[in-house]
Amino acid sequence: MKILVISDHEEKALWDFWSRQTADRLSDISFILSAGDLDADYLEFLVTMLNVPLVYVHGNHDGAYLEKPPKGCINADGRVIDIKPEKDSETVRILGLGGSMRHRKNAPFMFSEYEMRKRIHGLRWTALKDAARGRLKGKKSIDILLTHAPCRGYGDLPDLPHRGFECFNWLLDRLQPRLHVYGHVHKGYGRSYSGQSHSGQSYTGQSQSGQSYTGQSNSVQSHSVQGMPGQEDSGFRQEESGSRQESSGFRRLMTHPSGTTLVNADGYLVLVY
């Protein structure tokens, strides 16, 4: 199963310069995840051209969605969404929590740490109850956590606007989804590459069109990340650090201590799930 993950800026290769070659390379995408701060027209274009489910959360700059939400797309913000992307595939359960750390009053998609905790509290009776029930059956209650902001200490920055949420760490520890897809922190924001992942395994990558990034985590399966024509160097060249830091900056892939694979969707990536 392949997932197209997108966030924060509209890629010309997927919109302005859409081509038959792009369509062919994305023909086996099962669904799309948007981690926010994208033009609603861009989401509508992708869901139309690929004809697969597109699930999104709001970024802190997505106030226009209040008046014009992306048509044909599924809003997972503050909700638990089940999708069955392929006829013979298992249902994928996605928990969505959009928005970033509050640094401005009266912004619709900004939250303090306390406010985000309250949002999670409102969902926990569904998510955590299913978690307990699912573990009895050997299943996970949440497969993917989809957010705009990262976890505190994993891929965030020390300044308030780009600080991650501590409560996301708690959520990952409790629910242990296979993937946490987020955005908000862009390439070039505090880039630093050193060390090994928390699981002791490393990620390696190559840049430029058509070449792929592959990674191992201590999740059930590994995930590979594929480049596409027109894509800039979209990741790392050395091993990624998965240990908690005061400011870890941009990371394309990491492993959280819970075992969840963390994916920064800045721009776009194709994940083999």
Tens of pLDDT, residue by residue over 198-241, are 333 333 332 223 333 333 333 323 344 444 433 333 332 222 33
Place of tokens 């959280």: 256
pLDDT category at 52 given cuts 50, 70, 90 is very high
Lowest-confidence region among 104-108, 147-151, 169-173, 262-266: 104-108
Quick check: helix, strand or coil at residue 216? coil
pLDDT over 90, % of the chain? 54
Which long-range CB contacts under 8 A does 162-170 form with residues at least 24 apart? 162/100, 162/101, 162/189, 163/101, 164/101, 165/101, 165/111, 165/113, 165/116, 166/113, 167/113, 167/116, 167/117, 167/120, 168/97, 168/116, 169/256, 170/120
Answer yes or no: is pLDDT of 131 > 80: no
Answer yes or no: is pLDDT of 3 > 50: yes
Instruction: Please measure the distance between the N-terminal and C-terminal CA atoms of the chain and give it in whole angstroms.
Output: 5
Separate counts of helices (H) and strands (E) for the chain = 4, 16
> Over the stretch 134-167, which tens digit does the pLDDT of each residue have?
554 555 678 999 999 999 999 889 899 999 999 9
Q: Give the model's pLDDT for residue 61.
A: 87
Q: Give the model's pLDDT for residue 188.
A: 62
Q: Which of 193, 181, 183, 116 is nearest to 149 (CA)?
A: 183
Tokens of 55: 């699930």
Phi, psi of 217 (to 5 degrees): -130, 175
Q: 66 burial class (0-12, 13-18, 19+ CB within 10 angstroms)?
A: exposed
Q: Give the model's pLDDT for residue 256.
A: 94
Tokens of 144: 């993917």
Average pLDDT, the chain: 77
pTM: 0.78
Q: Which of 105, 116, 252 is nearest to 185 (CA)?
A: 252
Q: Which of 228, 255, 229 is nearest to 241 (CA)?
A: 255
Top-level class of domain 2-272: alpha beta
pLDDT category at 128 given cuts 50, 70, 90 is low
Q: Give the model's pLDDT for residue 73.
A: 97
Mean pLDDT to the nearest integer, 74-79: 94
> Over the stretch 161-202, which tens digit does the pLDDT of each residue have?
999 999 999 999 999 999 999 999 987 654 443 333 333 333
Mean pLDDT to the nearest integer, 73-95: 89
pLDDT category at 68 given cuts 50, 70, 90 is very high
Residue 63 Rama label (left phi>0; alpha psi -120 to 50; beta)? alpha
Answer yes or no: is pLDDT of 71 > 60: yes
Q: Give the model's pLDDT for residue 130.
A: 61
Q: Give the model's pLDDT for residue 63.
A: 86
Mean pLDDT to the nearest integer, 23-37: 95
